[in-house]
Structure 1
């Protein structure tokens, strides 16, 4: 008992500090809930309940659309300094965690009909005062929007596939992607997801979008249309090529695709600043899902090639890995001396799961992964 009390004091959230609601929820709250389920140790649930209650002031807005930042010591919240908007991903990618926290704690406190949707696609920003979408006409599956689409499907799976509104929104969104954002490159016929800005198409794709093959495959595994899996296979090939066509074997943060015949390279890094690599997990995340569902060993082979490239160009002598500035320059990739937390939390975890011989390790029929790779149980698994 004394050891338990000592451990319980090692982590305290009573700090006068501003935190980002979204990042804290997916990383720390999700991690605590996941650890509780995997260990059965109620200490982690107690910490999750404490943190969740400290995050609740973010929801005290006129619209109930949460502020982006909250002071977990003072119990105050505010939007970013430069706007009263919150981003789509921030306000719609916290439900897996808060729904699970509410279920475990039996505390019920803890975007379906808003106007502004375009065939299931939604704008990138929501105003915390009005609760309405802003920056209408700009649609992307990349930064600021990606996990909205991921969480529609995953909430439906988490809840035992009973919440029809979530499924309807997800299916409508995928149809919107196919109608408005999907294109093919010139001769190589790579299928990719671009962006739409006031009805103008931009053949630009963030590496973040490489979560989509895995999400589509997860949906198909749960009974959604077979053409979702067909699209997953095509997009997985594209994300693989985003690595393979770079001189370091590592994908840039942002790629631009050629819609016409060019120098034979379908993938280009049009703008120099987009050539950096942050050790992101999305492609290996999708490789994990694709291998689990198809048993096709090429997905393991692609993951192995990526790991070799990470080891060659980003591993730091003395330990750790670093982001790099230029994936097109193997002689001088430009190490940044910075390793993002998602490399340990997601990239390496998905690589481990990809190469695990135990195909039931964290079974995808028993767990749903949050967007930070923390597994949460699929209901109605009873709380411990």
Structure 2
């Protein structure tokens, strides 16, 4: 909490922050702004720490919600773009700050954001209930729409490859940035010309971010398409990453069939990816999102005030 209180005092760019901070001065260093590696959990925890502490029960923490809202406005204003020709909504980067060139690069890690946006919009209850109780502001509705648009993009990062598994990093075809179509892509996908996957970025580490967002969006919107997308991803994991003798393996290149395996399974595949898939297909009474907050490692924390000690 002391770190968050300190971060509150630092200058930001429309709520966005560089990915590095000096442990000596306590000031941000560099200008690289992104929601991928090294940047993601800052934005995730603004809303999740506030939710975990019981929302309005702790008025001293309203600054976290305000920082989150400001940051999401900054995301919409500075980082959101649409690809061509099919207008997939994606989050890019500002490697040299707001005055530098925009990069149409999106890490798979950024796919945490649809779930976080949805969670911040309804505070964990269903969209239907939130609408019925007039709980959603125009800001909430805008963030929820962005959440759904980004979830589709994250899913298409899977469906556009020949294995049906996403690369570690994707680039998007925008005006002034194109490296041709995707070699080894799924030619039946209508988005094969929107997404560019460079050779060095074609590995898959069994990451959880997309299925995490599908789980949260299914719980909040109750739209069955999120389960359908999750099942397609699960089947691709089963087909291409499952090892006969036990376990699952990361892949070198998701655009090649059969893909080369790395003989390595990150622990987050069991701890997060499969956990979120289990929850996606389980009953909504398991770990309800208005009573539990999942940290960035998928550990559920009871929301303050929702459980009584015996």
Q: TM-score, normalised by structure 2?
A: 0.85
Bigger-Rg structure (1/2): 1
Q: Residue 21 of structure 2 aligns with which residue?
A: 126
Distance 1:383 1:146 in 2: 33
2:148 to 227, 230, 233: 233
Deviation at 1:157, TM superposition (A): 0.6
2:271 to 338, 341, 345: 345
Indicate conservation of the 8 Å contact 1:287/1:299, yes or no: yes
Q: Deviations over 1:202-234 (max 9, x none)?
A: 000000000000001111112561111100110
Answering whether residue 49 of structure 2 is matched by residue 155 of structure 1, we say yes
Deviation at 1:334, TM superposition (A): 1.2
SS where residue 344 of structure 1 aligns?
Answer: helix
Answering whether residue 67 of structure 2 is matched by residue 173 of structure 1, we say no
Deviation at 1:273, TM superposition (A): 1.6
Deviation at 1:160, TM superposition (A): 1.3
1:214 to 79, 100, 115: 115
- Residues 1:118 and 1:288: Cα distance change in structure 2 (over 3 Å): same
Indicate conservation of the 8 Å contact 1:245/1:265, yes or no: no
SS where residue 300 of structure 1 aligns?
Answer: helix
Distance 2:45 2:241 in 1: 31
Q: Deviations over 1:47-86 (max 9, x none)?
A: xxxxxxxxxxxxxxxxx86xxxxxxxxxxxxxxxxxxxxx
1:265 to 193, 198, 206: 193
Q: Deviations over 1:215-263 (max 9, x none)?
A: 0111111256111110011001100100000110000000010014864
Residue-pair matches, total: 274
Indicate conservation of the 8 Å contact 2:85/2:193, yes or no: no
Deviation at 1:197, TM superposition (A): 2.1
Deviation at 1:318, TM superposition (A): 0.9
Q: Residue 369 of structure 1 aligns with which residue?
A: 294
Q: Residue 161 of structure 2 aligns with which residue?
A: 246
Segments of structure 2 that go 5 or more residues without pairing to the other structure are 124-135, 182-191
Distance 1:311 1:197 in 2: 36
Distance 1:243 1:220 in 2: 26
Q: TM-score, normalised by structure 1?
A: 0.69
Distance 1:383 1:369 in 2: 20
Deviation at 1:181, TM superposition (A): 0.6
Indicate conservation of the 8 Å contact 1:206/1:254, yes or no: yes
Distance 2:220 2:63 in 1: 26
- CA RMSD between the two structures: 1.8
SS where residue 144 of structure 1 aligns?
Answer: coil
Deviation at 1:330, TM superposition (A): 1.6
Answering whether residue 93 of structure 2 is matched by residue 195 of structure 1, we say yes
Segments of structure 1 that go 5 or more residues without pairing to the other structure are 1-63, 66-91, 96-110
Distance 1:383 1:248 in 2: 48
Distance 2:39 2:146 in 1: 20
Indicate conservation of the 8 Å contact 1:250/1:309, yes or no: yes
Deviation at 1:382, TM superposition (A): 4.7
